[in-house]
């Protein structure tokens, strides 16, 4: 029954909480730039306006692929909050990204196709680290299952500080933050217009935004796994840690400029080898 409640909570509240976090991020970013910024509920106004627009799609395949991207993300999130296998959650998350890439590649726009190529490149950069995170949880708790990880005697972060840092690094790519907003961006400073979302509008773009909110909460759920243990107060620590990570990602987004794709690839692999690889090696030697 508890798992069902967590899944229902994710299905209902994840897009709402994701939209609120988007609104908070816009306000924080505006304050950092000495601007007033939009209203807290502006993301919801934007989505409502997108749904009210006339249904114009480049092709029917793009809408179907965007819907598939949303549905598969929701499945991955439901599995995470139901306490299922973390490794399987990460594999399904990668599958969702592939549908997004296919959606961007389904039209003839050179900007969208360039964005799809860069999205694929980003996957090559961050996937090794995300797999190492799952391995780290297994070596720390003896299980890939989320339900076992959150019942451990001590928080996994005690044994996985390098993997936490590495996951924060790669999360900036998933959140589409500078300096890693190569394939698309939430800000109007892309040299290729809007990348993978260039040809998306109306309902199609609204679905894309809602999917990003689901993904945001899913990623913060994985961050929580680093801090939650068998004690009740660890849940409070996890929420506070996620709030700090959210602020640091927003700060990084506002103080850094976009890097080239080679820098993205090399830096991610260096972080994977140093932060992730060394942490995994220590865990293996300790066990």
pLDDT, averaged per 10 consecutive residues of the chain (287 residues), comes to 85 93 91 86 90 74 86 94 92 90 80 81 87 92 91 91 91 84 66 68 85 94 94 94 93 82 84 86 79
Determine the pLDDT at residue 123. Answer: 86
Contacts of 274 (CB under 8 A, 6+ apart): 162
Question: What pLDDT, on the 0 to 100 scale, is given for residue 27?
Answer: 92
> From CA 144, how far away is CA 52, in angstroms rounded?
43
Q: According to the model, what pLDDT value does residue 163 have?
A: 93
Confidence at residue 264, expressed as pLDDT on a 0 to 100 scale: 83
Q: With contact defined as beta carbons under 8 Å apart, do 135 and 160 qualify? A: no
pLDDT of residue 189: 55
| Residue range of the domain that includes 135 | 2-286
Number of domains comprising the chain: 1
Q: Model pTM?
A: 0.91
* Distance of alpha carbon 149 from alpha carbon 142, whole angstroms: 8
Q: ∠ CA(9), CA(15), CA(19), 5° rounding?
A: 135
Retrieve residue 24's tokens: 């908070």
Which of these, 212, 210, 203, lies nearest to 60 by C-alpha position?
203
Give the per-residue pLDDT at 10.
Answer: 93
């Amino acid at each position: 029954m508890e798992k069902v409640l967590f899944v229902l909570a994710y299905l209902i509240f994840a897009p709402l909480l994701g939209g609120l976090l988007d609104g908070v991020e816009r306000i924080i970013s505006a304050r950092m730039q000495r601007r007033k910024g939009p209203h807290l509920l502006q993301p919801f106004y934007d989505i409502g306006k997108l749904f009210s627009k006339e249904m114009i799609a480049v092709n029917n395949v793009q809408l179907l692929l965007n819907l598939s991207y949303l549905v598969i993300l929701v499945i991955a999130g439901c599995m995470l909050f139901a306490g299922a296998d973390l490794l399987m959650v990460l594999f399904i998350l990668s599958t969702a990204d592939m549908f997004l890439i296919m959606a961007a590649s389904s039209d003839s726009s050179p900007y969208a196709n360039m964005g799809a190529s860069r999205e694929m490149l980003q996957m090559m950069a961050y996937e090794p680290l995300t797999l190492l995170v799952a391995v780290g949880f297994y070596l720390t708790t003896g299980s890939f299952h989320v339900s076992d990880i959150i019942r451990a005697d001590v928080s996994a972060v005690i044994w996985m500080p390098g993997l936490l840092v590495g996951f924060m690094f790669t999360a900036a790519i998933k959140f589409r933050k500078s300096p890693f907003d190569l394939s698309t961006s939430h800000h109007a400073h892309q040299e290729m217009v809007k990348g993978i979302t260039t040809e998306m509008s109306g309902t199609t773009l609204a679905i894309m935004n809602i999917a990003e909110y689901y993904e945001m909460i899913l990623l913060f759920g994985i961050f929580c796994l680093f801090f939650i243990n068998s004690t009740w107060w660890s849940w409070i620590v996890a929420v506070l840690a996620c709030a700090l990570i959210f602020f640091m990602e927003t700060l990084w987004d506002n103080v850094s400029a976009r890097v080239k794709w080679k820098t993205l690839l090399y830096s991610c692999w260096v972080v994977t080898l140093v932060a992730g690889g060394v942490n995994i090696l220590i865990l293996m030697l300790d066990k």
